Amino acid sequence: MPIPKDKAAFAKNAVRVGRWGLLFTLFFAAQVGIAARACAQASAAKRTVIRPGRLLDVRTGELRTNQVIVVEDGKIVQVGPVSEVKASTGDTTIDLPETTLLPGLIDAHTHLTFELSSLGYQGLGISTAREALHGARNARRTLEAGFTTVRNVGARDYADIALRDAINDGDVIGPRIVASGPALGITGGHCDENLLPPAFHFQGDGVADGIEGVQHKVREVIKYGADVIKICATGGVLSKGDDPNASQYTLEEMKAIVADAHRLGRKVAAHAHGAEGVRWASEAGVDSIEHGHLMDDAAIATLKKNGTYLVPTLFLGEYMEQHMDKSDVPEYSKQKMRDVIAAMRQNVGKAFAAKVKVAFGTDAAVYPHGLNAGEFHVYVKLGMTPLAAIQTATINAADLLGWSKQVGTLEPGKWADMIAVDGDPTKDVTILEHVQFVMKGGAVYKNDYGKR
């Protein structure tokens, strides 16, 4: 505002401006106060109090009674005795008497966008868009089965990245996803596309050979959104023309993959069945071995020495023994599947006995999604206690993912991801196959308590 020549007029204008400024300040303060009260009321309304029959401390195995968990804004803010939690106006109370409450489960090896039928010749007729829609359905089934977090290790055309982002944006319902995008593999290996004739000159999305090739591919999949790097260190079972015992990537190639991935803040999961591939992958510094079904004693000792996690994927063997003849497993894979099943439990059982670090993983897609919790009872059959089996899918899997500050236990500050089951899973781990209640981020996605 220009200064008037008339000093009296200037003073009058100054007073007028001051009054308007004061009025604006008072109006703004009032609006801030109203907004603050509204926010406080909204915050209070969002408070959820969960009262289970028992609460399982997955670190110690202690089952605590008369406990409550208080959730605000998607996170746990208080865990303690009923007597320490004061009721507040606007609380939402969830009563789950006679149930056991425990952290949401974590599956470190899924393929949400795949079905068993998509892994053989039928899969050549399935578009990426269709696979993404399969993923949306399978994600919901997986969440409702009690798995609030998964690591998806392998998908075509980054379909799992799209699924992860759709879940995060609230477009579809599903677990938290740590996604890999396409798995890296050698030309003609387990992670290549080997079903088409030579005239197509077709390669899988993740195919890369040589040091420079694998370095470029790691950087490429990270560019397009990968949270974790999946590689194929050996041949596989459901792929055509390769041998599960045979190593594929060299030790030098895997060292280059791990160096780039770790420098760029990504962990590495290595598909490996055969003993040599398991040893090389562990020595290269991968964070986890997926399967390990054909390991020998030296491979197990290498995992133990290096502190490499084993993600065993064992329930698929039990399921296939019962269903393989009538399943969509391709004929070229059935004998490989039989050979692996014959060895997997003995070899993984040795790893359990050697106290190799284990994180829960299922390979869901080889059998129907939603049956993931069938993995637990196989671990118990091989010598784990039920609590140790539960720990593989909570604190161990959270550690493998690098998410121990967010998931894996029921503690203040962590995401409000939890499930409830009818009974005591530390006595009968198969109870986890029948989840009654699922919460993820403070939102209830399943509550079947009382509907039995």
Checking if the pLDDT of 44 tops 50, the result is no
- Find the mean pLDDT for residues 239-259: 96
Checking if the pLDDT of 32 tops 80, the result is no
Q: 30 with 55, same domain?
A: no
| Percent of the chain at pLDDT exceeding 90 | 81
Residue 414 covered by a domain: no
Show the tokens assigned to 261: 């991935």
**164-178, 312-326, 389-403: lowest mean pLDDT where?**
312-326
Residue 412 covered by a domain: no
Q: 122 with 271, same domain?
A: yes
Show the tokens assigned to 206: 């993740």
Residue 313 covered by a domain: yes
Checking if the pLDDT of 107 tops 70, the result is yes
Q: 98 with 112, same domain?
A: no
Residue 43 covered by a domain: no
- Find the mean pLDDT for residues 90-118: 94
Checking if the pLDDT of 30 tops 70, the result is no
Average per-residue pLDDT in the chain? 90
Show the tokens assigned to 320: 């296939």
Residue pair 421/382 in contact (Cβ under 8 Å)? The answer is no
CA angle 99, 101, 104 (to 5 degrees): 135
- Block residue for tokens 């079903």: 195
User: Which residues face 117 on adjacent strands?
Assistant: none
Residue 213 covered by a domain: yes
Residue 407 covered by a domain: no
Q: 58 with 180, same domain?
A: no
Q: 178 with 323, same domain?
A: yes
Q: 309 with 433, same domain?
A: no
* 334-393 pLDDT, tens digit each: 999 999 999 999 999 999 999 999 999 999 999 999 999 999 999 999 999 999 999 999
Report residue 24's pLDDT band, with 50, 70 and 90 as the boundaries.
very low
Q: 149 with 132, same domain?
A: yes
**CATH assignment at residue 55:** 2.30.40.10
Q: 57 with 198, same domain?
A: no
Residue 219 covered by a domain: yes
How would you list the strands of the sheet with 105-110, edge to edge? Answer: 105-110, 147-152, 176-179
**CATH assignment at residue 179:** 3.20.20.140
Domain count along the chain: 3
Please classify residue 46 by burial: count the beta carbons closer than 10 Å to its beta carbon, then call 0-12 exposed, 13-18 middle and 19+ buried: middle
**231-235, 279-283, 331-335: lowest mean pLDDT where?**
331-335
317's CB contacts (< 8 A; 6+ apart) are: 340, 341, 344, 345, 378
What confidence score (pLDDT) does residue 450 get? 75
Q: 136 with 156, same domain?
A: yes
Q: 290 with 426, same domain?
A: no
Residue pair 113/156 in contact (Cβ under 8 Å)? The answer is yes
**8-12, 217-221, 235-239: lowest mean pLDDT where?**
8-12
Q: 133 with 57, same domain?
A: no
Report residue 64's pLDDT band, with 50, 70 and 90 as the boundaries.
very high
Residue 406 covered by a domain: no
404-to-96, 394, 410, 415 alpha-carbon distances in Å: 26, 9, 11, 11
Q: How far apart are CA 188 and CA 196, in angstroms?
A: 11
Q: How far apart are CA 419 and CA 440, in angstroms?
A: 9
Residue 98: domain span:
49-102+419-447
379-to-11, 131, 334, 390, 391 alpha-carbon distances in Å: 85, 31, 24, 10, 11
Q: 394 with 432, same domain?
A: no
